[in-house]
Amino acid sequence: MTSPALDLVQVEKQFGTTHALRGVSFRVEQGEFFGLLGPNGAGKSTLINIMAGLVRATSGQVAVMGYDVVRQYRDSRSQIGIVPQELVYDPFFTVWEMLKIQSGYFGLGRENDEWLDELLEILKLTEKRDENLHNLSGGMKRRVLIAQALVHRPPVVVLDEPTAGVDVELRRALWEFAHRLHRDGHTILLTTHYLEEAESMCDRIAILDRGKVAALSDKQELIFQNSYRVGVVERVLGSNIPQHVSTAIISRSRSSTQIRVPREQRLQQQFLQQLSEIGVTEDQLQLREPTLEEVFLTLTGEDR
């Protein structure tokens, strides 16, 4: 039986009195493009650090490609590559020297040089091969971080906010490279605050909130399991409306109002009746499915 790429079972982590993770459990199958989403402070970085072996869980188990990150730490770390969100680099080395040092951490020598050259070519770093890291732009430093994470050809790659603070051109290049990794058989775990990226790229998504898994599903199921649809009213609803309608409003623009409409048929009919009582007819209302971002905001309470 094939081991999952990542297997987390009842993972707990406490920092003093702070309970960062509360019984987190999920699996990422080999070959998946998996999204790990959550607001700041939800526990994403703590979870990634546990996967990488940088932090030890208070309780629970984490395995990478079947290897326990505590009992089989050498094997587990050889199976995963982490691209951190922070630009961490050593200013005393060139790009090539840094990749050679990183290779050495995994017991790789000259036999890995051909792969390093290929990485430089793929990430458009060949011309920067002998450049000191301190002299590179932020975008180039991020490319070097990706190369460092891949020197040992890990089957599992974690992209932690890879496009945070990058320009449009680099953002597009990074996603093209992520798609290439996925096509080549790598399992990708992505964290991002750009939810349209997760919606377009990920097969399944887990949403963390306050250290717990608030949702875990196929992205389409996440949307359809949501308890409401979005109604677009072709007029601006003012403040002089009943409270039960006012609390359902998502946003207003100059000419329209977006409002939560219950998905369940009976509740939906009741709500449409309430709208008609304030002069909103069904032909003034267009229903659509919520976006992943709207579902995310509902699940994490950030739309309140």
Give per-residue pLDDT as tens, 165-191.
777 888 888 888 899 999 999 999 999
pTM: 0.86
33-42, 67-76, 138-147: the lowest-pLDDT one: 138-147
Give per-residue pLDDT as tens, 124-137.
899 999 999 989 98
In this structure, the answer to whether residues 176 and 103 fall within a common structural domain is yes
Q: Considering 168, 203, 222, which residue would you say is the last residue of a domain?
A: 222
Region for residue 13 given its phi and psi (left: phi exceeds 0; alpha: psi -120 to 50; beta: otherwise)? beta
Structural domains counted in the chain: 2
At residue 303, does pLDDT exceed 60?
A: no
Q: What CA–CA distances, in Å, run from 77 to 57, 61, 87, 113, 146?
A: 16, 15, 21, 21, 16
**What is the model's pLDDT at position 76?**
96
258 in a structural domain: yes
Angle at 262 between CA 204 and CA 254, to 5 degrees: 95
Place of tokens 């196929």: 218
In this structure, the answer to whether residues 111 and 214 fall within a common structural domain is yes
In this structure, the answer to whether residues 160 and 257 fall within a common structural domain is no
**What does the block give as tokens for 121?**
């070519």
- Expressed as residue numbers, the domain containing 108 is 31-49+76-222
At residue 301, does pLDDT exceed 80?
A: no
Q: Above pLDDT 90, what percent of the chain?
A: 61
**What does the block give as tokens for 188?**
């990708």
2 in a structural domain: no
At residue 80, does pLDDT exceed 80?
A: yes
Amino acid at 4: P
265 in a structural domain: yes
Give per-residue pLDDT as tens, 239-263.
778 888 888 888 888 889 999 999 9
**What is the model's pLDDT at position 62?**
98
Q: Quote the DSSP letter at residue 255.
A: S
153 in a structural domain: yes
Integer Cα distance of 264 and 58 in angstroms: 41
In this structure, the answer to whether residues 109 and 130 fall within a common structural domain is yes
Give per-residue pLDDT as tens, 99-127.
999 999 999 999 999 999 999 998 889 99
Q: Above pLDDT 70, what percent of the chain?
A: 99
36 in a structural domain: yes
Report yes or no: 163 and 174 within 8 Å, Cβ to Cβ: yes
Report yes or no: 235 and 284 within 8 Å, Cβ to Cβ: yes
In this structure, the answer to whether residues 165 and 97 fall within a common structural domain is yes
Phi, psi angle pair for 8, to nearest 5°: -115, 130
Q: Quote the DSSP letter at residue 226.
A: S
In this structure, the answer to whether residues 185 and 90 fall within a common structural domain is yes
**What does the block give as tokens for 130?**
């002998």
Q: Considering 193, 222, 251, which residue would you say is the last residue of a domain?
A: 222
The torsion of the CA quartet 89, 93, 95, 100, rounded to 10 degrees, works out to -100
112 in a structural domain: yes
- What is the residue-averaged pLDDT of the chain? 91
Q: Considering 190, 222, 254, which residue would you say is the last residue of a domain?
A: 222
CATH no. for residue 45?
Answer: 3.40.50.300
- Mean pLDDT along residues 228-240: 87
Integer Cα distance of 72 and 69 in angstroms: 6
Q: Quote the DSSP letter at residue 238.
A: -
**What is the model's pLDDT at position 302?**
60
